[in-house]
Amino acid sequence: MRKPGTMDWTLYVVTDARLVGPRSLAEVIGAAIRGGAKVIQYREKGLTTRQMVKSAEILRQVCKQLGAVFLVNDRLDVALAVDADGVHLGQNDMPVRIARRLLGKEKLLGVSVQDARAMDEAVSEGADYLSLSPVFATPTKPDHEEPLGLEKVRVLVGRSPLPVVAIGGINSANVGAVMRAGVHGVCVISAVLGAPDPEQAARELYQLARAARTEPEHAGCR
């Protein structure tokens, strides 16, 4: 397993096949990785298990060839079936302690959190990294919780012993501000998958995020 503390979390892309148009999801994800994405999360809620496994197998191979980490959202069974690098869980998914037991110690386990209580629980039950969600309102998930805003992100990052990424409404206009709140990386969906040129969109986001990380007020990445 890649150690979470040594990974490049700067740009983390979550899939949504509805956004890629006539292009294949594998083609778009390959472009995103070439543009700088180092972590890919497979998240497709409307497919059967068989369809998910087939699609995940293809994306797993793309990530392996291009050197990106491949995670599966929620579906531990799919992750294990395709030998993914790990699983990402939301607050309504399988309990973290059970997922950790089933995954073993060698796979990555990420958890979405919105507050300090959920953060502390995820850390104590075996999470490897945390995702703060959502930072801003986002059309890709209209039923999300109340947006955290940058100040709350800054506070939560300050108390986390684990790498922290942020998701929700992040794009090239605000990625610098999110990084300066202290996160280790940003998660995006439409900003890359919905772009006419996913590779260029990923490259721009990656460069903006890296540049913001080097600014003096960015003190959260440890």
pLDDT, residue 3, reads: 81
Cα separation, 90 vs 47, in Å, equals 18
Active site residues per annotation: 43, 112, 141
* Predicted pLDDT of residue 221: 44
Residue 141 pLDDT level (bands cut at 50, 70, 90): low
Prediction pTM value:
0.94
Q: What is the DSSP letter of 128?
A: S
State the average pLDDT over residues 46-51: 95
Q: In this structure, what token pair is assigned to residue 85?
A: 């690098």
Instruction: Considering the domain delimited by 4-213, tell me its CATH architecture.
Output: Alpha-Beta Barrel (3.20)
Q: What is the pLDDT of residue 214?
A: 75
Residue 77 CA to residue 97 CA, distance in Å, equals 16
Query: Would you kindly state where each structural domain of the chain is located, as residue ranges?
Result: 4-213
What mean pLDDT do residues 91-96 have?
A: 95
